[in-house]
Structure 1
Amino acid sequence: MTDHTRAREALQAVRSEVAKAVVGQDAAVTGLLIGLLSRGHVLLEGVPGVAKTLLVRTLATALSIDTRRVQFTPDLMPGDVTGSMIFDARTTEFAFRPGPVFTNLLLADEINRTPPKTQAALLEAMEERQVTVDGTSRPLPEPFLVAATQNPVEYEGTYPLPEAQLDRFLLKVVLPVPPRDQEIEVISRHAHGFDPRDLAAAGVRAVASGEDLLAGALAVQTVGVAPEVVAYVVDLCRATRTAPSLSLGASPRGATALLATARAWAWLNGRDFVTPDDVKTLAHATLAHRLSLRPEAELEGVSVGAVLQTALDAVPVPR
């Protein structure tokens, strides 16, 4: 068995491990795995109480990687995330104390509650995979992924993420409120003693490692993409730029992201080439958060998802 095959089997086993603690969020687990394999970041959207934090903690346990959580608040300062220079009385010198961003999987909870200055500090870490404090750049560990949550309900005191920062997220995953049968299962687990703070008791164990993620990421880079599939990705993104309901379509970075997520999805499914169906499967998660509606379309109740679906239906699929 090759390293690539072993890595794929280990990462596929992660889904069943996460399911021991989290009910019915398979799409979110897959999205986070695609983010890790593509070296991109994931935006998680869901109302409070749909197990976003538990999902990230369980995934980190199953992958045997380090994780930290930061609650983003209006008074959070950039140094609270990145770290800062602290005066050491013993050496009478300033020393760097790393912030929570120095981890493998950072859960940025309610990222849209913090001011733009702190959002910008996180942006350097996401884009450059390093933190610059006091003129010195410090690399972040590998792998490094930001899983940021935002609440879909508009509350007072939120700072909407600017389009440039939304564009930095590889994909956006919506965590729905579970259907009735899954909610019954969640409550039944709690009734039988499930403690979300004790994942070991729930039987969650490490089934993959950082090495598996690295091997997987290298394998994803070898997944073939035919010229007609590349053209299909480009045509899809160009179609969003001419959609009359949109004020902002998908940028070339969006096209690059769609190609990256489609390759990771193809590899996870055991293929070494990308099909148009892979592109279609990942289009909504990869592109929807990069698109902006015109105010008049918003007033008419048009949704970004519907506009994107129209573009998907209109662009000819290569055969």
Structure 2
Amino acid sequence: MPRLDLTAGSVELTRAICDIPSVSGDETPLADAIFAAVDPLDHLDVYRDGDTIVARTQLGRAQRVVIAGHIDTVPINANLPTREVVEDGERYLWGRGTVDMKGGTAVQLKLAAELVAPRVDITWMWYDNEEVDSDLNGLTRLARTRPDLFAGDFAILGEPSNGAVEGGCNGTLRAIARTHGARAHSARAWMGENAIHAAAPILTRLAAYQPAEIDVDGLVYREGLNAVRITGGVAGNVIPDLCEVEVNFRFAPSRTVGGAEAHVREVLAGFEVEIVDAAAGARPGLDAPLAQEFLAAVGGEPRPKYGWTDVARFSALGVPAVNYGPGDPSLAHHDQERVPVAQIEDVERALRAWLTAR
């Protein structure tokens, strides 16, 4: 079993975690290593549910903060093992997971081991299957079996945010728009009806769509509605009788899931539309007292989170939550994924200072 040395620096620990492959669904070796590293720590109560691990301080503090990070990544594409690179004089750690989000996870693990007496009680969560459908998410499972573990006054998700605070998140919805036709031999195409051709207006509408920019509690969220996959056809000499266009709608947290669904159906009016997955967004949550303290401590101007993250899960439970971690979100899932070494160190320093300040 791989071993993690939690006395190592956060950069070295990031590299060690990244070099244990953990594509969604195959997180067990990394989960085993995390569990083996934190379970012996006397100041933490440790609980494991599948490949999700929770470690809590029980100091009787007046407030509790939940700090969470997912341990899975999207598929590897010749970008492991990690390596250090230098660009324009700045050091980067390059490789799958360095941005999304093992840099943040490494910082959390190091602080979990070292902060024996923080000023607030802390619940650390490291969970599986964040990069896939929400029903597979480790926090979805944990919410069914141990909802009490989500209790807190404030939550921080270590998602990449360039070392700045990103409030809330957009919601996300996936839909399938279908067109139907009739099969025929392609040499006698006039005897059939081509379902792929019938899908052309769907793509035309999506290409012409103008995404909205919506102000929510002082942060401006940019929406997006895009085709992300198209399937159809049965053989090279058969007119297709079915075409499916998968559509992804990223919507501002001011919209409900129902409102987002209604909007997609309005844009695609006249076509068969099936909603296959949806998750609400989260409002910024920056008005909570602990959020204000945290923002003042780490500095900088808060920004909106355009992608969906599990801050939405905590927001739905009434726990204000923000995203804060090293890495440029635009490089998440990128084949050239890389994180500035200085950002990992800065995030560790800022989190440590806030969690130990009296």
TM-score in terms of structure 1 length: 0.22
The structure in which a higher percent of residues are helix is 1
TM-score in terms of structure 2 length: 0.21
The structure in which a higher percent of residues are strand is 2
